[in-house]
Structure 1
Amino acid sequence: MSKSKKQRSSIPIEECEYDRVSSLPDSIICHILSFLPTKDTVATSILSKRWKPLCISVLTLDFTDHTIFTEITTICSHIYSVLLSCDNTLPILSFRLKCCFRLDEPNNFTQLIIAAIQRRTETLELNMLFHTFDMKLASNIFTCRKFTVLKLKLLILST
């Protein structure tokens, strides 16, 4: 028998099957989940009944899409569904959107970002190649007093 098999067989079964993550408090699990992209955070809700409400308690939303020329209506509907499922009594600590759009309907995008701003977002980071946003969105972004961090990259302002 190899040395590694001997070591494994000497560990009591109870110790091997102990789930250390499940013993953590919800607040710590939510903090850990806040470092994941939102897509992965939502995917954890299928792990168990306990995990389902945890993903809606994560206040860091990271929508990073590396696909160039993604259809905006698909992304907007996905982000809206996540925003609606989050606890609306708490502010969003961080909202990151990084993707590339061919923008056919700028109103969808504008309404989405305004919805995130209305949720008292503290950090807003938009990194979007080929997107032109309108003055309505610009005025909402630049007059919002809740932001502690504002990062805008690759955006083109239109009149």
Structure 2
Amino acid sequence: MFDGDVSPEVARSVRAAGVVAVDTETSGLDWRADQLQLSQLFTPQTGPVFIRNVTGHPSALAEVLGDPGVLKVFHFAPFDLRFLEAGWDVRVSAAACTKAASKILQPTLPAHEHSVQPLLRRTIGVEMSKGSVRTSDWGAGDLSAPGQACGDGCRVRGRHGGSWFVPAYE
């Protein structure tokens, strides 16, 4: 867990990996009014990396996410990209979106089939359950409660030890 920004070592490791799964957790759905509270990165080299309590511009994170040599894989990238730019002034290059790719490759599927759980089940056979409670306090001082320190990406990755956003995109 990093407060404010990632370390130079993590930034180097993400660059060396060449591809990173990225997810954000927010206080709501409106990038103009709500807050970006936590961002997650995952590569096999780094494992899950959490960034929160950002009060300014996280320059090391911004450099990695802006690096065109590193592919950033999101699920529903427009949401995450808006919050990253509005909340932390981070502009992302070389972004891929599993939801958009699903819609392009399988346009006849019903809309709900492009959500993260059915997409992972359909493309790589991974079952994921978010449970019935769909809100968390990502700004809480202690994120150690079960499920509190993991968003979509970590819930899937934790049990299987790998980033599933990237294989789902591929």
TM-score normalized by structure 2? 0.27
Give the number of the structure whose alpha-carbon radius of gyration is greater: 1
| Structure 1 or 2: more helix by fraction | 1
Could you say which structure has the greater relative contact order, defined with CA pairs below 8 angstroms and 6 or more residues apart?
2
